[in-house]
């Protein structure tokens, strides 16, 4: 995975700075590299996303704020784009030091307030999905241990300004329209300034990498929902993500996109079209694999990525299952559940040839 970083000298970055939006890249412990936080110089003084819960991230954020003559204590509003810990880990520390209000999708508020409890439910759901799709017990145990260790990069927080689709974040000199764009996570939220034709896109749309539509427990699901807890029901994250991309593609008043990682960019429609083609090609490739013989999603992931399908089993499983959902929707594959409750996928149609795909 490429770890492209913000280019402060690029023309899109200069346009953002001219609007009073300054990117402060913050280090993370994850393969994606630095996360982009954005200082919006307006009233109220606002920070979009905060980085993971670490001293190194806090130092980088404080240094970045100081470069613009600001301190943590000056912040008046903190906005969280979605639930991944590289974007929200420092929110409680910053809110306590500054007294800033915390804005996030309303559906995310209970998850943030009961962070540990919901993380337990999310981990149990992920383990059930892995078991149902052929990932062996020892791999599931290892991944659950890693997930538990990683929790410290996030933290609970209190949302004081819950947001919903269509709301407007108002400033003295601008307004940001709130749009819920689930797929990469259930809580993905983007912020649109139509007057300046700018979209703060977080991880919904990134130039240098395709956003992973991770299979995640629904935010509104009861903690004791038996079908979800056993992995028998799960969101179709890639289908949801493609629907969100289509909605973003239809936006007219967008010339500048400020992402959660990597460089600012323009021409969202060309990038979205490229991503849609990528997913269509990957679905066709997976279809050819199950046309050779029925396979579990884990077996497909191993065939595609080798040992990465073990070390990053849930990431690659989410990728395969997302494309299986596309194939299921097109009637090209079917699910067959064996006596142990493990799902295998088999082809219902002749696959598209390599030349045609």
Q: Are 70 and 178 in a shared domain?
A: yes
Where residue 308 sits, what CATH number does that domain have?
1.10.10.10
| Long-range CB pairs of 250-254, under 8 A, 24+ apart, other chains included | 251/192, 251/199, 253/192, 253/194, 253/197, 254/192, 254/197, 254/198, 254/199
Sorting pLDDT into bands at 50, 70 and 90, what band is 244? Answer: very high
Q: Are 293 and 262 in a shared domain?
A: no
DSSP code for 154: S
Q: Are 16 and 119 in a shared domain?
A: yes
pLDDT tens for 256-275 read 999 999 999 999 999 999 99
Residue 241 falls within a domain, yes or no?
A: yes
Q: Are 91 and 211 in a shared domain?
A: yes
User: What pLDDT score was predicted for residue 2?
Assistant: 45
pLDDT tens for 135-163 read 999 999 999 999 988 999 999 999 999 99
| Closest to 24 measured CA to CA, from 13, 35, 9, 12 | 35
- Does the pTM exceed 0.85? yes
Looking at residues 338-347, what average pLDDT do you find?
A: 96
User: What pLDDT score was predicted for residue 284?
Assistant: 97
Q: Are 160 and 109 in a shared domain?
A: yes
Residue 353 falls within a domain, yes or no?
A: no
Least confident of 5-9, 187-191, 245-249, 266-270: 5-9
Residue 1 falls within a domain, yes or no?
A: no
Residue 355 has pLDDT above 80, yes or no: no
Residue 357 falls within a domain, yes or no?
A: no
Q: Are 161 and 225 in a shared domain?
A: yes
Asked if 20 and 40 touch (Cβ cutoff 8 Å), the reply is yes
Q: Are 91 and 213 in a shared domain?
A: yes
User: What pLDDT score was predicted for residue 3?
Assistant: 58
Mean pLDDT (the chain) is 95
User: What pLDDT score was predicted for residue 231?
Assistant: 85
Please count the structural domains in the chain: 2
pLDDT tens for 67-87 read 999 999 999 999 999 999 999
Q: Are 186 and 332 in a shared domain?
A: no
User: What pLDDT score was predicted for residue 357?
Assistant: 46
Strand order in the sheet with 101-105: 21-26, 35-40, 46-48, 77-79, 101-105, 161-163
Q: Are 16 and 121 in a shared domain?
A: yes
Q: Are 152 and 190 in a shared domain?
A: yes
Q: Are 72 and 29 in a shared domain?
A: yes
pLDDT tens for 312-335 read 999 999 999 999 999 999 999 999
Contact residues for 95 (Cβ-Cβ < 8 A; gap 6+): 78, 101, 102, 157, 158
Q: Are 98 and 210 in a shared domain?
A: yes
Residue 176 falls within a domain, yes or no?
A: yes
- State the residue range of the domain holding 326: 289-347
Structure tokens at 63: 């240094």
Residue 301 has pLDDT above 90, yes or no: yes
User: What pLDDT score was predicted for residue 9?
Assistant: 84
Sorting pLDDT into bands at 50, 70 and 90, what band is 229? Answer: confident
Residue 92 has pLDDT above 60, yes or no: yes
Residue 279 falls within a domain, yes or no?
A: no
- Strand pairing category for 21-26 and 35-40: antiparallel
pLDDT tens for 93-110 read 999 999 999 999 999 999
Residue 173 falls within a domain, yes or no?
A: yes
pLDDT tens for 199-216 read 999 999 999 999 999 999
Residue 201 falls within a domain, yes or no?
A: yes
* CA atoms lying within 13 Å on the CB side of residue 54: 17
Where residue 74 sits, what CATH number does that domain have?
3.60.15.10
């Amino acid at each position: 995975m490429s770890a492209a970083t913000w280019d402060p000298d690029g023309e899109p970055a200069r346009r953002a700075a001219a609007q009073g939006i300054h990117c402060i890249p913050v280090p993370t412990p994850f393969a994606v590299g630095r996360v982009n936080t954005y200082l919006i110089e307006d009233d109220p003084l606002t920070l979009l996303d905060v980085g993971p819960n670490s001293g190194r991230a806090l130092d980088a954020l404080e240094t970045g704020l100081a470069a613009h003559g600001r301190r943590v204590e000056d912040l008046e509003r903190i906005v969280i784009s979605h639930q991944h810990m590289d974007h929200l880990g420092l929110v409680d520390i910053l809110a306590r030091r500054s007294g800033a209000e915390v804005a996030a999708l309303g559906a995310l508020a209970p998850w943030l307030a009961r962070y540990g409890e919901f993380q337990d439910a999310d981990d149990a759901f992920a383990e059930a999905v892995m078991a149902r799709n052929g990932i062996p017990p020892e791999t599931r145990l290892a991944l659950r241990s890693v997930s538990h260790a990683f929790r410290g990069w996030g933290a609970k927080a209190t949302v004081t300004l819950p947001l919903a689709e269509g709301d407007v974040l108002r400033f003295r000199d601008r307004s940001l329209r709130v749009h819920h764009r689930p797929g990469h996570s259930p809580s993905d939220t983007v912020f649109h300034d139509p007057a300046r034709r700018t979209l703060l896109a977080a991880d919904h749309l990134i130039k240098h990498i395709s956003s992973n539509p991770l299979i995640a427990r629904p935010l509104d699901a009861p903690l004791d929902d038996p079908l979800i807890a056993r992995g028998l029901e799960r969101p179709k994250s890639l289908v949801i993500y493609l629907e969100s991309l289509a909605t973003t593609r239809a936006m007219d008043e967008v010339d500048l996109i400020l992402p959660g990682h990597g460089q600012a960019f323009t021409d969202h429609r060309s990038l979205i079209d490229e991503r849609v083609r990528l997913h269509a090609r990957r679905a066709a490739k997976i279809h050819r694999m199950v046309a050779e013989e029925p396979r579990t999603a884990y077996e497909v992931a191993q065939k595609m990525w080798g040992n990465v399908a073990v070390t990053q089993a849930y990431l690659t499983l989410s990728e395969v299952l997302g494309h299986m959902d596309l194939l299921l929707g097109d009637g090209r594959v079917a699910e067959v559940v064996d006596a142990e409750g493990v799902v295998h996928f088999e082809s219902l149609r002749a696959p598209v040839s390599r030349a045609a795909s």
